[in-house]
Structure 1
């Protein structure tokens, strides 16, 4: 039996040595998992903070976009657009526009050269048969409103295929021309 005891003792020692080795490996793995877990917690905290900051930044950007559109609307309240005015090489578009405005609202004929501030065509020369629109900026809103009101019944504009329009920001023009989702076909 002593031989059997020696074998059993030898097996026990081998098992204990392997168990100690496994325990050390398990302890190393546990330490690695704890380290990774702590790192994950830190990353999750930073991610949550970043998500919060991004959300606040997006809110600020939306607010600033809204303010920018409001400022654009406000500035454009002094403008009118004129469509249908034929283009000519080397034209004096300002004098043409003043003449058209004088014929549209003859009651303020003398004051118009002073209150029409800036006049220019919109966009690049394309060579298209369709003339580019003209933007007109008035220095006094009162006169802009008089031209706008008179243009609605102007026979001169109708006979010359000219049309005044209000100058809206691109965002408002897109909304105006967008088809509501309830009207879209499926």
Structure 2
């Protein structure tokens, strides 16, 4: 059950954190630069977005939950070599359980 739930999520690493930021707005702006054809349906595509953990010196990860796996898969595929991600040193990753991480 836990693995199935995580198939709908991606983690974003490396996005600089600002005090009193609106994580959803910040992430939506970034995603629209990467996949501009999502503009009319972005509010429907993304369900949940938040930073993980307590604030530290390093930017915390952002977890994004999608309403359909097809959008998650598309974003993950597009971002692997996207110039914006490379310029900003951003990396999208699967949201794996502890057992899956250890198995890999």
**TM-score normalised by the chain length of structure 1:** 0.53
Aligned length in residues: 104
State the 1:157 CA deviation. Answer: 0.8
* Residues 105, 146 of structure 1: 8 Å contact kept: no
Q: Which blocks of at least 5 consecutive residues in structure 2 are unaligned? A: none
* Residues 122, 132 of structure 1: 8 Å contact kept: yes
Q: Which blocks of at least 5 consecutive residues in structure 1 are unaligned? A: 1-70, 177-186
Aligned equivalent of 2:63: 135
2:31 matches 1:101 = yes
| Greater relative contact order (CA < 8 Å, ≥ 6 in sequence) | 2
Which of these two proteins has the greater Rg computed from alpha carbons?
1
Aligned equivalent of 2:95: 167
- Secondary structure (helix, strand or coil) at the match of 2:29 reads helix
Q: As a proportion of its length, which structure holds more strand?
A: 2
1:42-57 to structure 2, matched below 5 A, reads: none
Q: Point out 4+ residue stretches in structure 1 off by more than 4 angstroms.
A: none
Q: Which moved more, 1:74-83 or 1:140-149?
A: 140-149
